Amino acid sequence: MLLSLRAAPSTRPPTPVSRPVRGLSRLARFSWLRCAEGISLWLAMVLMLFVHPMYAEAGPLEAEQPGQLYLIDHKSAWQEPALVLDSRFQVSVSGLLAQTRLTRTFRNTSDRWQEGIFVFPLPGQAAVYGLTMTVGERRIEGEIQPRAQARTTYQQARESGRKAATVEQNRPNLFTSRIANIPPGEAVTVELRYQQPVAYRRGEFELRLPTTLTPRYMPGTPVSSPAGSWQAGWSVPTRQVPDAPEISPFTVLAEDVNANSHRARIELEIDAGFALAGVSSPSHRLQVSVDGSRAMVQPEAGPVLMDRDVIVRWQPVASQAPMAALFHQQWQGEDFMMAMVLPPATTGPVLRRELVFVIDTSGSMAGESIRQARSALLRGLDTLRPGDRFNIIEFNSEAHALFMQPVPVDSRVLARARRYVQALDASGGTEMASALSLALAGQAPSDTGNGLVRQMVFITDGAVGNESALFDQIRSGLGNRRLFTVAIGSAPNTHFLREAARWGRGQYTAIQSTAEVDQSLGALFAAMEAPVMTDLEVVWPVGTADAEPARPGDLFQDQPLIQVVRGVAPLGEVAVSGQLPGGRRWQTRLDLASAAPGQGLDRQWARGRMDALMDHARLAGEQPDEQGIVELSVRHKVMSPFTSFVAVEKTPSRPEHSALDQERLPTLLPAGSDAGMLRYPQTATLAPLLTALGLLGLMFALAMAMLSRRGV
């Protein structure tokens, strides 16, 4: 095209023009044409030079660097993940427990056999009690086995070509499922059944279904750095978190996975047991149909992206807010009962407090989270009264306190604190231990005698891998303080935050969105200021009653007492009493005969007993009673840290000569959080594209100009 354009003027005589033109202007026009030809030639040259290397380098690259071939498949397109994940939550709430059927379908879109590995969150208090693998029409029921044995069973099935599925617990709220031998182009479905207690606070029931996890920080020095390779993305084991690689799945953006993958269908069926006033969600828009005490709930948008926790709340009609509830169930000839009692609200004298705010400014908080945390902290500063003392500690890779020690509140220091909070930014690691030791230190002798109530507010997403060590630190350093935790973000580590508050004799609150900061924290700060009921006692009519938790913790305002007990028939009365500040004693009695039928109480009790055994080991500083936990776990079919579910197909399906590929499914980055420092930055400009387009356009224009001149 370029050549013909250039050739055209020379072959075509410039003279035959229709109208008479004066010689001078003809000459000018001719030289203009010459000039344009010259320019267009030069432009063409520049464009060629500019575009040439892009074609030149596309070809020989693969030959030169064979090691990098794996990135590009034969169509030189980026290889799509082979497995597509489809999740379905079918939740049925009955009374205080929610039973969930979580069905995950792993579809193999590649033409090779695949093994899928998926690390996923469950609620921290979940009791997992069933696994079923479905292949085509066949359903294979999983069985519970000690962890090591389950692994061996799975490995053997995997090697022999049989389809198999297993689920094991990495943390109480973090599980790994493996599915072996998914045939090319087919799907394997794994159904997980678990139950979780429903939270009841401030006259409102709440259920939280986690769908993804915030990438966790692994403190400690790497144990072994494999020579010459840094396993980017997958955390390597560290001295403090030896299982770091297992709990650090790749986190990707929603647009990086298949358009149908990582979507969850959610169906919720609520049987509240009282007339419902409404059902709402701070995380998703819901489609609700209420019928008396029953409700069917699902997200309005259909399948939802698994990038944030699904939260559903329901409220009773004002006069029907339950103050107590009893459930009874017989399981294998044994009686199980569950009791919920809500003490009435009381008022007490205004407390003078020493308040230490600890705020997480690590990289995982970047984005929406740090904004929520900042406004939570500012809201906390507003609750301070003259006579109180306070301090602020921020931590990422290092901890930093605003003041050397807690200072009395006055307008000057408050203004300084507000400026400090507003300037907080999120980046770096999550060295929580140093922040805790800073917050738990500084027990000046004069402070203990001056009647100050010492409280700590810990604002974080809990994205750490060394939870257990931190619980120990809280327990041993707590003294007479109380630790309150505030969960931030779309997918906080609620297990860590709930347990930290429990070991810290405090309470846990989650913030769903910036708009909710005021409401959620208002309730928390009200509870912190209200009197606490201590020394709780529950007396069951049978002496041999086996209750979990055996010794309930202190109760804050609007917080119910919940106990599950084994070996109590629905006869007689249960007495609940507690100590209020100022020596008053509160007590109430419930008639056991009025108990409603319940389900899953035995599992709830077993989970509680296993937690108690783990707690006991932590308090005594010894290894947990593994034997006892495994026995409980197998008897009640409830998963524990030492047992896993495994389901294996009877006959092999993968031919021996076909290889098995392995794919680790990524999880989605929680909504609202910045990809953070761990993501590769965008390092290309639009310059080459703009230049190429500009050159092309100019050439085109010049060509047009020449043609039109000639055509005149």
Closest CA to 394 of 417, 413, 411: 417
Closer Cβ to other proteins, 373 or 703, answer by number = 703
Least Å from the CB of residue 457 to other proteins: 24
Backbone angles phi, psi at 187, to 5 degrees: -135, 150
Closer Cβ to other proteins, 617 or 705, answer by number = 705
Taking residue 385's Cβ as centre, other Cβ atoms within 10 Å add up to 11
Q: How far apart are CA 266 and CA 89, in angstroms?
A: 5
Closer Cβ to other proteins, 197 or 363, answer by number = 363
The token duo for 12 is: 């075509």
User: What Cα–Cα distance (Å) separates residue 709 from each residue in 17, 37, 136?
Assistant: 11, 12, 72
Q: How far apart are CA 455 and CA 482, in angstroms?
A: 5
User: What Cα–Cα distance (Å) separates residue 639 from each residue in 103, 142, 568?
Assistant: 17, 12, 25
Which residue intervals of 383-493 are DSSP H helices?
411-422, 432-440, 445-449, 467-477
Which three-class secondary structure string do you get for 377-398? Answer: HHHHHHCCCCCCEEEEEEECCC
With tokens 């599950």, the residue in question is 564
Least Å from the CB of residue 666 to other proteins: 8
Closer Cβ to other proteins, 153 or 673, answer by number = 673
Least Å from the CB of residue 54 to other proteins: 5
Is there a contact between 278 and 259 (Cβ–Cβ < 8 Å)?
no
Closest CA to 357 of 327, 399, 313: 399
Least Å from the CB of residue 704 to other proteins: 6
- Judged by the rule CB under 8 A, the positions of this chain that interact with other proteins are 53-54, 57-58, 61, 65, 68, 71, 78, 218, 222, 225, 228, 230-236, 238, 250-253, 256, 363, 396-398, 427-429, 666, 677-698, 700-701, 704-705, 708
Least Å from the CB of residue 234 to other proteins: 7
Which three-class secondary structure string do you get for 553-577? Answer: CCECCCCCEEEEEECCCCCCEEEEE
Q: How far apart are CA 600 and CA 685, in angstroms?
A: 59
Least Å from the CB of residue 67 to other proteins: 9
Taking residue 100's Cβ as centre, other Cβ atoms within 10 Å add up to 23
Closer Cβ to other proteins, 228 or 451, answer by number = 228
Closer Cβ to other proteins, 423 or 620, answer by number = 423
Least Å from the CB of residue 695 to other proteins: 6
Least Å from the CB of residue 367 to other proteins: 14
Least Å from the CB of residue 582 to other proteins: 48
Closer Cβ to other proteins, 166 or 361, answer by number = 361
Closer Cβ to other proteins, 231 or 443, answer by number = 231
Closer Cβ to other proteins, 72 or 593, answer by number = 72
For 672, residues 6+ apart whose C-beta sits below 8 A from its C-beta are 308, 367, 368, 369, 489, 490
